[in-house]
């Protein structure tokens, strides 16, 4: 997790969450999957007690391969918001899609994380969708893609303390280079991030020129 993010008590309803202690500029990597994060395959999960399933449902997310990823650091405390400020550009890290001000909570949209269940959101924002469900990915992905693509163009505009943890730097770099060469291109990460699990949801929903089809 980015070093200027702290774990705090948000309020009684939300519980704990993460807050920026300093300005985090658009395009900054806020979280990166690293070598200490725990990966639990569906096969392994089937051998575990229900208690573990509940822990993973609460604290982990599903990656594009269908494995659960349980963050060892404060990454697991990122709360959902219907106007999230970090998203995954498709390379196992999340970036700030806009400037995050000191004191602002770090949030992502659980619908972007291969959500397996539906839940009632109480983020309280005017744009709150109320019920959060994976099916919304079809309408949300193009909007997120625009945000992520704009932010990703700034990948090399400022300090990136988490860059050293990025696992596939070549893929991340080549996507950034392609965006630099093609002003109208977009990253379109969600078709891939929904992957084997839910990729068909997005088959017809995202159009335009992508740069990271690998
Ligand atoms: Zn909401």
The alpha carbon of 156 and the centre of ligand 1 are apart by a number of angstroms equal to 31
From residue 84, alpha-carbon distances to 19, 48, 59, 87, 91 in Å are 13, 32, 18, 8, 18
pLDDT (tens digit, 9 = 90+) per residue, 40-89?
A: 998 999 999 999 989 998 899 999 888 999 999 999 999 999 999 999 99
The environment of the single-atom ion ligand 1, i.e. residues with CB closer than 5 A, is: 82, 121, 123, 128
The alpha carbon of 128 and the centre of ligand 1 are apart by a number of angstroms equal to 4
Architecture of the domain whose range is 5-202: Beta Complex (2.170)
Name the pTM for this structure: 0.91
Nearest to 24 by CA among 90, 95, 78, 77: 95
The alpha carbon of 82 and the centre of ligand 1 are apart by a number of angstroms equal to 4
SS3 of residue 148 by DSSP: helix
The alpha carbon of 131 and the centre of ligand 1 are apart by a number of angstroms equal to 8
Task: Determine contact, residues 199/68, Cβ cutoff 8 Å.
Answer: no
Q: How far apart are CA 194 and CA 64, in angstroms?
A: 6
Domains in the chain: boundaries:
5-202
The alpha carbon of 78 and the centre of ligand 1 are apart by a number of angstroms equal to 14
Task: Determine contact, residues 70/60, Cβ cutoff 8 Å.
Answer: yes
Distance, CA of 20 to chain centre: 17
Q: How far apart are CA 128 and CA 92, in angstroms?
A: 26
The alpha carbon of 152 and the centre of ligand 1 are apart by a number of angstroms equal to 25
pLDDT (tens digit, 9 = 90+) per residue, 138-195?
A: 899 999 999 999 999 999 999 999 999 999 999 999 999 999 999 889 998 887 787 6
């Amino acid at each position: 997790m980015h070093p200027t993010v702290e774990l705090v008590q948000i309020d009684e309803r939300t519980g704990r969450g993460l807050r920026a202690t300093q300005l985090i500029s658009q395009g900054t990597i806020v979280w990166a999957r690293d070598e200490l994060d725990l990966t639990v395959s569906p096969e392994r999960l089937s051998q575990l007690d229900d208690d573990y399933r509940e822990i993973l449902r609460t604290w982990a997310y599903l990656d594009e391969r269908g494995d659960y990823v349980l963050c060892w650091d404060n990454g697991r405390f990122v709360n959902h918001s219907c106007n999230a400020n970090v998203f995954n550009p498709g390379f196992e890290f999340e970036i700030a899609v806009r400037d995050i001000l000191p004191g602002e909570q770090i949030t992502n949209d659980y619908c972007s994380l291969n959500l397996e269940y539906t839940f009632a959101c109480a983020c309280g924002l005017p744009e709150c969708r109320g019920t959060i469900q994976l099916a919304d990915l079809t309408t949300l992905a193009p909007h997120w893609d625009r945000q992520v693509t704009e932010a990703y163009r700034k990948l090399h505009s400022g300090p990136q303390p988490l860059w050293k943890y990025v696992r596939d730097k070549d893929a991340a770099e080549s996507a950034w280079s392609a965006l630099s060469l093609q002003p109208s291109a977009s990253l379109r990460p969600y078709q891939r991030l929904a992957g084997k699990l839910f990729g068909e949801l997005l088959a017809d929903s995202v159009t335009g020129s992508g740069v990271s089809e690998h």
